[in-house]
Amino acid sequence: MELEHIKDNVYYLSWIINIGVVVGEDGQAILIDSGLGDRSGRRILQALEVEGLRPVAVLNTHCHGDHSGGNAYLVEQAGVKVYAPLYDAMVLRQPVWSTLCLFAGADPIHELAIPRFSMRPSPVDVIVTEGELAVAGVTVEAVALPGHTGTHTGYIASGVFFLGDALCSEQELENSGIPYGYSVTLRLDTLQKLCNSHCDYYLLAHGDLRRDISELVELNRQRVEETLAFIVDYLSRQPAEASDVMVAVCEHFGLQLHKVQEFFLLHPTIYSHLSHLHNRGEIAFKIEGNRLLWYV
């Protein structure tokens, strides 16, 4: 990891994800996310030490292990305070909720207990809500960007917007077909919110630093709308279970699932599309032959 300057007192560390660094008073540093596991925590401390910086806070965009997995190590080794939005804070404190939700609320299979889904528990000192945060002598604005998770949050410091996973890069969209999401309804609202954003720089967690995100926002929106339209068309031809919809979506986007972890990321994502369409009155469901069937 090396510290890359963006502007003024704002930097980032590039690794498995991009980790924001905002420099405050007296060499204090605020981190935006903490990466994947203890290894990430160690590398963050090493990179900051080279620059004479001391981390005092981690502002988590959300609870997924590749964004929050370094929390526990940083708390233990550097005494940082952890800031996180409400729903995500629950998972940070009790990571079992992550794998439990992926496995439909049941006792999860062991294969889901990987660092991305099941990180070490982390304390949460401050519950983040939308608005300004005063940390280490500087002001950071928290911006609610739900959709990827229920309370996913971005942070703005000195005109630099740390987006977390609110936006997918072109490469992510190509690889995943449809990105994981808790709520399609909230995701569409967030994309509209980002259309009206005016910052100097935008940093994607799984991507690059950009001056303009308008085309990427539209690309993300188009992918959501394409998926929704495909599902409606598919269900207009026959009632189907969610598993059938999932197979059809994979075929439509040319996806091949090889790992069980990929399956359990896509599974709830399909349900978030079905929920959006149902709650808007575009599709309905019925129980027939002990099967829950969706139809137009």
**Residue 167, both tokens:** 């936006």
pLDDT digits (tens, 9 = 90+) for 46-65: 999 999 999 999 999 999 99
Q: What is the pTM of this model?
A: 0.96
Rounded to an integer, the average pLDDT of 135-147 is 97
Distance, in Å, from the CA atom of 170 to the CA atom of 185, rounded to the nearest integer, reads 21
Q: What percent of the residues of the chain are helix, what percent strand, and what percent coil, each to the nearest 5?
A: 40, 25, 35
Rounded to an integer, the average pLDDT of 76-96 is 97
pLDDT digits (tens, 9 = 90+) for 240-263: 999 999 999 999 999 999 999 999
Distance, in Å, from the CA atom of 87 to the CA atom of 92, rounded to the nearest integer, reads 9
**Domains located in the chain, CATH noted:** 3-222 (3.60.15.10), 226-295 (1.10.10.10)
C-beta separation of 71 from 64 below 8 A? no
For 46, phi then psi, to 5°, come to -65, -45
